[in-house]
Chain A
C-alpha cells in the first residue's frame, strides 16, 4: 500500500489537466496541486477556435470554467523541460524544480508545422492549434484575404473551410486522398461531407498536394500544385495533423515517441521495459493506451471527450493507493464536428470497418445514423444531424453487439448493409 499523495503535479494545463485537477479535488484530495502550462493562458477550450472564434461570434475568450475553490497553483508560460523519475522531480524552463508524489502527464499535441521552414515563415501561412494561432488567423480573415488555401483533408481543414465560407471568403481545400475524412468516417460519409462542402462553394481538390509556395517580399503570393496548377492566394492554413509533445520526456526512461506516451489500462505511464513508472500517470491527446473496445489495441486519440474521461480516470487512480483499487480507462472514443451547418458525431472507431448500414434517416436527407461493422460486430456509429439516436448505438458498441445492431425498429424497415 502506498502512502496518500501530498504533492501532485500536472504537466499540461489544458482540458485534460484541468479536468484532472477538478476530479482530484472532487475526490477529496487536499494536498498541494500544481498545473504546469507551456502557454501563457489559463486552461481554455480548443474546439470553438476553428469555428465561432475565427468567425468572430461571441467572445474569443474560451477559458474553461474553473471551480472557484480549485486551490491549484498555475505555472503558466513555463514548459516542463525534463523529468527525473528517480528524484521524482519535474524541471521547468526557468530552472525551477517541482517535486511530486504523483505526476500527471497531459502535454497534448501541437500543430504539425509546414515541412518547408522558408515557406512556413511567409506572412500569410498559418497553422491552427492554440488560442494565439486562432487570434492571428482570425485577424487575417477579417482583412478579407482574396482566397484561403487549406491544406489537409481532416476535420480542422473542413471546419476552417466552413468558417471561411460563412465569412464569404473564397476557399480552396487541398486533400491528398481521393476521398476526404476517410480515416475517421470512411469513404461513404467522407464523400458526403465533401459533396456538401462543394455545394457551399468550397473549391475542393482531391488528390492534390502543394509542390511549392511563391512569396513576394516575405508574403505568400501563390501556391503551385504537384499537377502544375498555380493558385493565387494570400492566406494558407496548413491543417496537416499534429505532433505529440513528448520531447521533454527524452531520457526519462518513459516509453514515449511520436505515437504518444505509452500507458496501461489504468492510465499509468510505462517505462521502456514495460514496467509501470511508479506514481506517474498520463491522460489526453499525448496518451497511447489499450482500447478495451478494440481488443486492447493501442490507440491515441485527439478527442475532447477522451481528454476529460481519461483525466478523470487518472485522477481517481492517482488517489487509489494500490492497483487493486484502480479502475480501467474504458471510455468509448467519441467526437463531434460542426461544419456547413451540419453536426457530425461519431462513437467508436471506424478503423478496419468492413460494412456500413444506414439505420436512421438517409444520405439523401443528409440526416442519418450509420452503424459500422467489423467482422460481424458493431464497432462504431456516426450521426449527421441525428445526435439523439446515437446513445442507443453507443450501448451496442460497448456490448459488441452483432452487426447491424438493431434490425426490427418500426422506423427502419429496410436496412441495407453496404461498403463503408
Chain B
C-alpha cells in the first residue's frame, strides 16, 4: 500500500508509532519518519495508525492496479 503523512499537521503525538511500530518512527523529539510503501500485510496496522492519529495526518490507499494506468475513465 501507499502511505503519506501531512507533516505540516503532524504534532508528534507518536500514536502511529504504537499502532504500527515497524512503519513509523521518531528521529529526535518530533521528526517523524515512516514507510511510504508498506506491504499489503501491514494494512491492519496502518489503519490502526490512521485512526489513532489525533490530528488526522495520515492517508493510505492500496497500491494502484497497473491496469489503472493508461486507462481512461
Find residues 333-348 in chain A having any chain B CB closer than 8 Å to their own CB: 334-336, 338, 340-343, 345
Give the secondary structure class of B's interface.
loop
Q: A336-B8, A387-B11 are in contact. Are A65 and B1 (CB under 8 A)?
A: yes
Contacts of A341 in B (CB 8 A): 27-29, 31
Taking the closest CB of chain A, its distance from the CB of B55, in whole angstroms, is 9
A66 contacts B2, C-beta separation under 8 Å: yes
Interface string of B43-73 (1 = CB under 8 A from A): 0000000000000000111101100111111
Contacts of A308 in B (CB 8 A): 6
Nearest CB of A to B12, in Å: 6
* Nearest chain B residue, comparing its CB with the CB of A309: B8
Tell me whether A58 and B28 are in contact (CB under 8 A). Answer: no
Inter-subunit contact A63/B37 (CB<8 Å): yes
Q: How far is the CA of A304 from the CA of B7 in the complex (A)?
A: 9
**B36 contacts A63, C-beta separation under 8 Å:** yes
Question: Please, how many residues of chain A have a CB less than 8 angstroms from a CB on the other chain?
Answer: 45
Q: How far, in whole Å, are A51 and B4 apart by their CA atoms in the complex?
A: 15
A52 in complex: contacting residue of B11, B33, B64, CB < 8 Å: B33
| A367 beta carbon closer than 8 Å to chain B | yes
Tell whether B40 is near chain A: CB-to-CB under 8 Å.
no
A59 & B35 in contact (Cβ 8 Å cutoff): yes
A-B pairs with beta carbons under 8 A, tally: 103
Stretch at the interface among A68-76, A142-150, A283-291, A401-409: A68-76
Chain B's interface size range is 20 to 34
B73 lies within 8 A of A73 (CB): yes
Cα of A336 to Cα of B31 in the assembled complex, Å: 10
Query: From residue B61, how far is it (CB to closest CB) to chain A in Å?
Result: 4
- A51–B36 touching, CB < 8 Å: no
Q: Which residues from B are CB-within-8-Å of A59?
A: 35-38
Of A42-50, A176-184, A351-359, the segment with at least 4 beta carbons within 8 Å of chain B is A42-50
Q: How far is the CA of A58 from the CA of B61 in the complex (A)?
A: 18
Alpha-carbon separation in the docked complex, A231 to B40 (Å)? 47
Asked if residues A65 and B59 are in contact (CB atoms below 8 Å), the reply is yes
Q: Write 24 A-B pairs (CB below 8 A) sorted by A numbering.
A: A32-B72, A32-B73, A42-B64, A42-B69, A47-B7, A48-B33, A58-B23, A58-B34, A62-B36, A64-B4, A65-B59, A67-B61, A68-B62, A68-B68, A71-B73, A305-B8, A334-B8, A335-B8, A338-B33, A341-B28, A345-B8, A367-B29, A385-B28, A385-B30
B-binding residues in A (CB < 8 A): 31-34, 42, 45, 47-48, 51-52, 57-59, 61-68, 70-76, 304-305, 308, 334-336, 338, 340-343, 345, 367, 385-388
Question: A73-B73, A343-B12 provided; 18 other pairs, C-beta below 8 A?
Answer: A51-B33, A58-B34, A59-B36, A61-B37, A63-B36, A63-B37, A64-B2, A68-B61, A68-B64, A68-B65, A72-B73, A334-B8, A336-B8, A341-B31, A367-B29, A385-B28, A387-B10, A388-B12
